[in-house]
Structure 1
Amino acid sequence: MKNTFLALAALLVIVACKKEDHGDANVHITGNIKGFKKGQLFIKKYNDTALVNIDTIVIDGDSHFESHLKIDSPEMLYLVIDRVKTASVDNDLPFFAEPGNIKIETTKDEFFGKAKITGSENQKLYEEFKAVKNKFVNDNLDLTKLSYEAGKNVARQDSIALKADQLKKRRYLHTANFALNHADHEVGPYVAISEIAQDINLKYLDTINKSMTPKVAKSRYGKMLTDVIAERKKLEAAPAQ
């Protein structure tokens, strides 16, 4: 009985120490960057308009890494790699963090392109959004190429400009529908803010705002969307100078 009590007491001490080590962290990030043996990793977030560092991880011989963070609500963070000596511009990896366990697997040479992120429902939904967004981006690049090839042909330029405008409207509507259909996740208001908040008709933003669940409405991006709408209404109500 005495031995059992001592073992239980020792276990409680170990658990208490582990909790103390990580403080009030609610996000546990683990990962592996294949081929990255020496350098540093930084986890950053936007504070207003500035990207600030919230964790530094030293890599020295082992490409695996770990981080414990505290976030108030799900938000977009950035894993930044410092390769020490390189001319690469592929150094930033955005990921949608949320409370729980998140795993990031990628490679040193294709840091962004080979990234696989699991454990975040918001990240999964955001990747679905990006897949469709990339199609719009590619279609727009095709139109830009056609415009260059058309030169001074006015009729062709007008036709291409019309198609570009229609493409832009479809992209905006797709983004608005995505945000509305996922107003129960923080990725909903995030996409609305980052993609269409300054350009789309206010009625769409109002609909998204009213569709957010109470939890999402209280989140960082939920509050930001509410503030953006209020600011736009204020500006649009102001008399023209």
Structure 2
Amino acid sequence: MKKLLIAAFALTALVACDKKESDKNLHLSGKVEGLKQGKLYVQHIVDSALVTMDSIVIKGDSNFKSELQLSEPEMLYLSLDRGVSKSIDNILPFFAEPGTMTIETTLKEFYAKAKVTGSKNNDLYNDFKKIRMRYNDEQNKTFSLSLLAKKVNNTQKLDSLNQRADKLTARSYLDAINFAVNNGKHEVAPYITLTEIYDANIKYLDTIHKSMSPEVAKSKYGKQLTTFITERKKLEQLL
């Protein structure tokens, strides 16, 4: 009888463990080439603070795995604790979504060399970053030329460069708005709006808001965008 009870208890525990594993809907795996010892953290933002969802100890094997419960697509952060190193290249943001995802990167260029697969939202976010990077490069070039024009007191050239900078800013905003509108079926759209173009004209934010699918509108970032637009309208009425 005692053996039967022990067997039943073991079976119950096994079923409970299986059930617990099945509750995890994000299966994250990857490799940090060159990392022999350290710790990885999977984190997300809660009330403006980074909160750890899982920690992974690396000892000898640079491969890692993490099982997480994700209620909806969300921006997560893979953080690297290098130990005594003072490197600032320690945080890798990635747009996670339920399913199977992989992250492959290197210890030397943790952020720059990262390759993330398994998330449509992350693919779209990378596409947006490429667009934004082109504008950033142009803005940096314009700024450098402006400094040179100012140094030699070439006011005509400086005025022209300032106009160019303003046009680049306007174009970058319009491209970001169009990107968000065209991808309203994905959670990346309200996220980009909230983090990159929150100060755009309210009519453009309304356009993005209306372009969101019902599912995205009910998501974390969709709800945040709805609240943000409502509060901004209230504020602008007071000004």
Q: Judge same fold: TM > 0.5, yes or no.
A: yes
What is the rounded CA distance, in whole Å, between the counterparts of 2:11 and 2:28 in structure 1? Answer: 24
Letter in 2 for 1:125: L
TM-score (norm: length of structure 1): 0.90
Note the alpha carbon deviations across 1:111-153, whole angstroms, 9 max, x for none. Answer: 1111110000000111111111100000000011001101132
1:78: which partner in 2? 77
3-state SS of the aligned residue for 1:85?
coil
What is the rounded CA distance, in whole Å, between the counterparts of 1:15 and 1:33 in structure 2? Answer: 34
2:173: which partner in 1? 172
1:200: which partner in 2? 200
Note the alpha carbon deviations across 1:151-206, whole angstroms, 9 max, x for none. Answer: 13222211111100000000000000000000000001111111001x21111111
- Does the alignment pair 1:88 with 2:87? yes
What is the rounded CA distance, in whole Å, between the counterparts of 1:11 and 1:174 in structure 2? Answer: 57
**Aligned Cα RMSD in Å?**
1.8
Give aligned-pair identity as a percent. 50
2:122: which partner in 1? 123
1:227: which partner in 2? 227
What is the rounded CA distance, in whole Å, between the counterparts of 2:131 and 2:111 in structure 1? Answer: 18
1:187: which partner in 2? 188
For residue 28 of structure 1, report the CA deviation from its aligned partner. 0.9
Letter in 1 for 2:207: T
5+ residue gaps in structure 2?
A: 1-9
2:142: which partner in 1? 143
What is the rounded CA distance, in whole Å, between the counterparts of 2:14 and 2:105 in structure 1? Answer: 33
Letter in 1 for 2:157: R
Letter in 1 for 2:230: A
Note the alpha carbon deviations across 1:66-114, whole angstroms, 9 max, x for none. Answer: 1111122101100000111212111110000000001000111111111
What is the rounded CA distance, in whole Å, between the counterparts of 1:19 and 1:135 in structure 2? Answer: 47
- 1:18-167, aligned counterparts within 5 Å? 18-20=18-20, 22=21, 24-151=23-150, 152-167=153-168
Shift of the 171–73 alpha-carbon distance from structure 1 to 2, 3 Å rule, reads: same
What is the rounded CA distance, in whole Å, between the counterparts of 1:204 and 1:231 in structure 2? Answer: 15
2:7: which partner in 1? none
Letter in 2 for 1:96: F
Letter in 1 for 2:235: L
Shift of the 155–234 alpha-carbon distance from structure 1 to 2, 3 Å rule, reads: same
Letter in 1 for 2:76: L
